[in-house]
A = this chain, B = another copy of it.
Amino acid sequence: MQDRTYTADAEPGESATVAGWVHEIRDLGGIAFIILRDVSGKIQIKFEKDEMDDDLVETGLGVSRESVISVTGDVEEEPRAPTGVEVTPESVEVISDADPELPLDPSGKVDAELSTRLDNRTLDLRKPEVQAVFTIRSEILRAVRERFRDLRATEITTPKIVATGTEGGTELFPITYFGEEAFMNQSPQLFKQLIAGSNVERVFEIGPIFRAEEHNTPRHLNEATSIDFEGAFCDQSDAMDVAEEVVVAAYEAAAENCADELETLGLAEEFEVPNDGFPRLSYEEAIERINATGELDEQLVWGDDLPTEGEKALGDDVGGHYFITDWPSEIKPFYIMDHDEDEQLSTGFDLMHPRMELVSGGQREHRHDELVAGFEQQGLDPDQFEYYTKMFKYGMPPHAGFGLGGERLIMTLLGLDNIREAVLFPRDRQRLSP
């Protein structure tokens, strides 16, 4: 395959072998064209029926759309061709003949339901606007990791098979592990803390998390990509700084390195990198502002979790990314530290996009005895977590961190309607395959 030329690299005046998918066949009678598509773009193949070998014409024009062919011939300038060049074939090889009945039209001329698209991802991804999402996703992952490294964080890998869930036994997928009960991990939370407490100090991980939540919404997945950070000698304010930097880095990377893909998605004009300095609202201010919008039937009172409509109303009101800080301790998990001055208030924070929550974070409880007491307060058995709590007896520094939903970041950044569009093979209650 080494002598294959990408369609975008085929230079007029040379002979080249190009290979890819038959995107379109236009038969005008005496002359016919195939538009051949590969990862780099498209190129026109010209068949002048009277001047060419019959077998060659028959082979070339006998294929159906989406077949894979390889074409060798001279590349020439042709201003009327879509990309300004065309190939006059000397040979055509049909590598993989496609069934003419496609379950999905990759040209995008016929709309398809999301479920049909997901059942036929190979075909779906041949659409430029779908491929663009995943090219941008790949670039965002790169940029986010780079930013973490700039902040002196070490990339870690933590186990996905665990003996106990991060937050107890709810919403866990059980697995059978050599006869023992185990679970698929909900979050790298406890593990990243154990590493931040060694003198690695700052760590990040981008990996899968698994949640057996019975949600069925456009913004929940049962298997998702979590972008996690944890830093020793950090407080919640430092963690918010890092979360903000990482989100901004994702937007910057898309703007700087994915201009073509944003264009393909029709976002080139409107795409904006958010300014840093996201507003930081306390939970108390947040409920006051939500109540003031008058969008909710019932006024929120201190201690309530924010309902989805409340988040939406506040998002519209703020109009950009923002933090909600100082949540009631009761709403936040045991590993979040309370404020020194007020035990009812936690150091937990959320980073919100106007459409939804992206990040949950906070300063962690690093004091052994307070941590163990927190387990008990939340009805969890601290003995089950001894592998974790015991390390807090041997010099655990103050530390803070967050988890950022990878698909939510991509979904909000690109304005996708459904989170399933931000992942190749989504997993939800109904979907286990492909």
Contact = CB atoms under 8 A, between A and B. Distances in A.
Contacts of A233: 1, 4, 19
A395 interface: yes
A199 B238 contact: no
Interface in A278-311: none
Contacts of A141: 155
A114 to B, nearest CB: 16
User: How many interface residues does chain A have, given as a range?
Assistant: 35 or more
B38 A398 contact: no
A2 B238 contact: yes
A337 interface: no
Contacts of A122: 194-195, 197-198, 391, 394, 396
Interface stretch (A54-62, A95-103, A244-252, A351-359): A95-103
B95 A398 contact: yes
Given A19-B233, A122-B195, A131-B200, A427 B39 contact: no
Contact of A175 (B163, B175, B201, B207): B175
A408 interface: no
A211 to B, nearest CB: 11
A102 B394 contact: yes
Contacts of A184: 160-161, 175, 184
Interface in A391-434: 391, 393-398, 406, 423-427, 429, 432-434
Contacts of A149: 142
A37 interface: yes
A395 B67 contact: yes
A99 B68 contact: no
Contacts of A194: 121-122, 434
A173 B162 contact: no
B125 A200 contact: yes
A395 B68 contact: yes
Contact of A223 (B159, B164, B232, B427): B159
A432 B178 CA distance: 10
Given A1-B235, A161-B432, A174-B175, 4 more contacts: A20-B397, A159-B425, A175-B175, A208-B208
13 contacts: A1-B238, A38-B201, A66-B395, A96-B397, A122-B391, A122-B396, A123-B391, A138-B155, A157-B225, A157-B406, A160-B210, A161-B432, A173-B177
